Amino acid sequence: MLKKIKALSIGILLGIVSLSASAHFVVMYTPQTALLRASDVPMHIVFTHVFAGGPTYDMEMPERFYYTYQQGAFSFPEEVDLKPYLEEIEWHDGDRTLKAWRADIPRDVMRSLGDYQIVIEPEPYWEEEEGLYIQQFSKVMVNVGGVGGNWLQSLGLPAEIQALNKPYANWTGGVFRGVVLSEGLPVPFTQVEVEYMNHPPNLDENMFQEEPLIEAPHPSLEAIIISTNEFGEFSFAMPKAGWWGFAALTVGPERELNGEFLSQDAILWVQATDLPE
């Protein structure tokens, strides 16, 4: 870890740390996204580098935090504000303490069977070191009871990853597919960064587990870069159970804020589950 930080600071000195070297992700973490029945859903929201488990950034209260839900094909999607459940927490990253969020979404707010697309639209974040604003439109999906719903629906966000597989229903080794969208339109030949949540959160301590789950022999396996095809689609086989973050950077329409570069990114969280023995 220390070695890595040292290498990183040398990289910064030499100016060779590129945006894609190891991207930051808005983490939306809940222990289980495929729920058998309606349950309380605890969620942690932290802005960090997921494979390395840090460094973590302060995160301001999201501009919007909500879910969309749709019962069957013949009804209107319903949007429910989840901001009332947000609570600021202190996140520990080594000896630093950072601002993060926890939401305890009560059972009766996600009571019906089906899919819940949970979305964060954050304020642009000024990233001092990289010298740019970052705004990551982030999604995770929770299913209650195995009944399908609006998992396939694109929400028309400025930057979005539309799922072509249910993000909560993937065996380990299964191929996950998605489409990168900019204001609802596919983005061909754009890079998608895939990172494994190598330091899962310790929810009682408000920190990332110190021990990594895997060691990567090369940086290109820490932040795996793939590309969309001419239709904006990508696919990735997830080799290990747990959480996989997909990030498409700078795909949103806005590129500037206060005279500085603004990166409008799309994040989608996908859970892979081992076959039972």
Q: Whose Cβ is closer to Cu ion: residue 5's or residue 36's?
A: 5
Which DSSP string corresponds to the chain? -HHHHHHHHHHHHTT---TTTS--EEEEE-S-SEESS---EEEEEEEE-TTTT---B--PPPSEEEEEE--SSSS--EEEE-GGGEEEEEEEETTEEEEEEEEEE-GGGS-SSEEEEEEEEPPPEEETTTTEEEEEEEEEEEEETT---STT-----SEEEEESS-TT--BTTPEEEEEEEETTEE-TT-EEEEEE--S-EETTTTEE-SS-S---SSGGGTSEEEE--TTSEEEEE--SSEEEEEEETT-SS--EETTEEEEEEEEEEEEEBPPP-
Taking the complex as a whole, the smallest distance from the CB of residue 266 to Cu ion amounts, in Å, to 16
Q: Whose Cβ is closer to Cu ion: residue 24's or residue 166's?
A: 24
Q: Whose Cβ is closer to Cu ion: residue 114's or residue 245's?
A: 245
Taking the complex as a whole, the smallest distance from the CB of residue 191 to Cu ion amounts, in Å, to 15
By CB under 5 A, how many residues form the interface with Cu ion? 1
Alpha-carbon gap, residue 7 to 14, rounded angstroms: 11
Q: Whose Cβ is closer to Cu ion: residue 168's or residue 196's?
A: 196
Q: Which stretch binds Cu ion (CB under 5 A): 21-29, 115-123, 145-153, 251-259?
A: 21-29
Closest CB to Cu ion: residue number: 24
Taking the complex as a whole, the smallest distance from the CB of residue 223 to Cu ion amounts, in Å, to 10
CB burial string 30-64: b at 16+ within 10 A, e below: beebbbeebeebebbbbbbbbbbbbbbbebeebee
Q: Which stretch binds Cu ion (CB under 5 A): 18-26, 90-98, 109-117, 205-213?
A: 18-26
Q: Which stretch binds Cu ion (CB under 5 A): 24-32, 64-72, 183-191, 223-231?
A: 24-32
Q: Which stretch binds Cu ion (CB under 5 A): 17-25, 39-47, 67-75, 173-181?
A: 17-25
Using only C-alpha atoms, the chain has a radius of gyration, in whole angstroms, of 18
Taking the complex as a whole, the smallest distance from the CB of residue 153 to Cu ion amounts, in Å, to 30
Q: Whose Cβ is closer to Cu ion: residue 167's or residue 201's?
A: 201
Which DSSP string corresponds to 221-240? GTSEEEE--TTSEEEEE--S
Taking the complex as a whole, the smallest distance from the CB of residue 24 to Cu ion amounts, in Å, to 4
Q: Whose Cβ is closer to Cu ion: residue 12's or residue 152's?
A: 12
53 lies in the binding site for Cu ion (CB under 5 A): no
Taking the complex as a whole, the smallest distance from the CB of residue 90 to Cu ion amounts, in Å, to 21
24 lies in the binding site for Cu ion (CB under 5 A): yes
Work out the number of other CB atoms within 10 angstroms of the CB of residue 98.
19
166 lies in the binding site for Cu ion (CB under 5 A): no
Q: Whose Cβ is closer to Cu ion: residue 23's or residue 169's?
A: 23
Q: Which stretch binds Cu ion (CB under 5 A): 16-24, 36-44, 69-77, 242-250?
A: 16-24
Taking the complex as a whole, the smallest distance from the CB of residue 271 to Cu ion amounts, in Å, to 23
Q: Whose Cβ is closer to Cu ion: residue 115's or residue 222's?
A: 222
Chain residues in the site for Cu ion (CB under 5 A) = 24
